[in-house]
Chains A and B, each alone.
Chain A
């Protein structure tokens, strides 16, 4: 259980175009999803926290107008990188927290990661 998918897994786009990345929780409902970015040889950096039905909360230094997040349902969140530039090339990873976390054997605080999307902007 607790599977999170991301699509696409890899994308190459030209500078100035926009790219949409989807994150889906496949077998659970996620009230909260997180978007991270990881540059080579660096750790994950949280970009934003997304709660279903409300606006995302962005970390300091992350432009909300450039990285558009939509969390329209309990199983889907999308990240759109608008007007992408080469410096946006990175590994983007989403994670999700189970709505039923804390019940039964499910951990209250555990998050489940998607496989990541490798974005290359040329």
Chain B
């Protein structure tokens, strides 16, 4: 089983839609969790950290369930500019493990 798994995608949604991505991780010692977005042929950029209590940043909401080893990202009112690959990242110690990513295309 891979250390970090994500919805395979791609997700093609119309503008204004709400879309949710799921991520599971296998290492129960994982300490920190992040969502990154990566545009085509660019480096990943931090979207948000994920806290146990859940956190929201504008249209983006992240949730963490340690018991189920599950992380989610919800995007509301999606924009064309949200089209990208969303990477779930799990950290333990010095190790950062990236999920395979879920590609999102927001269509006009």
A interface residues with partner B (beta carbon < 8 Å): 32, 34, 36, 42-46, 49, 91, 93, 95, 107-116, 118
Contacts and interface: CB of A to CB of B under 8 A. Distances in A.
A32 B95 CA distance: 11
A114 B43 contact: yes
A36 B97 CA distance: 11
Given A34-B96, A49-B94, A107-B49, A43 B42 contact: no
B103 to A, nearest CB: 9
How big is the B interface, by class?
A: 20 to 34
A118 B95 CA distance: 24
B91 A43 contact: no
Nearest to B85: A43
Given A32-B94, A49-B94, A107-B49, A42 B100 contact: yes
Interface string B7-39: 000000000000000000000000110100000
Contact of A109 (B32, B42, B87, B100): B32
Given A43-B87, A110-B49, A93 B43 contact: yes
Contacts of B91: 109
A107 B31 CA distance: 13
Contact of A110 (B42, B46, B94, B99): B46
Contact of A46 (B41, B95, B99, B101): B95
Contacts of B49: 107, 109-110
A90 to B, nearest CB: 12
B54 interface: no
Nearest to B100: A43
B54 to A, nearest CB: 17
B66 interface: no
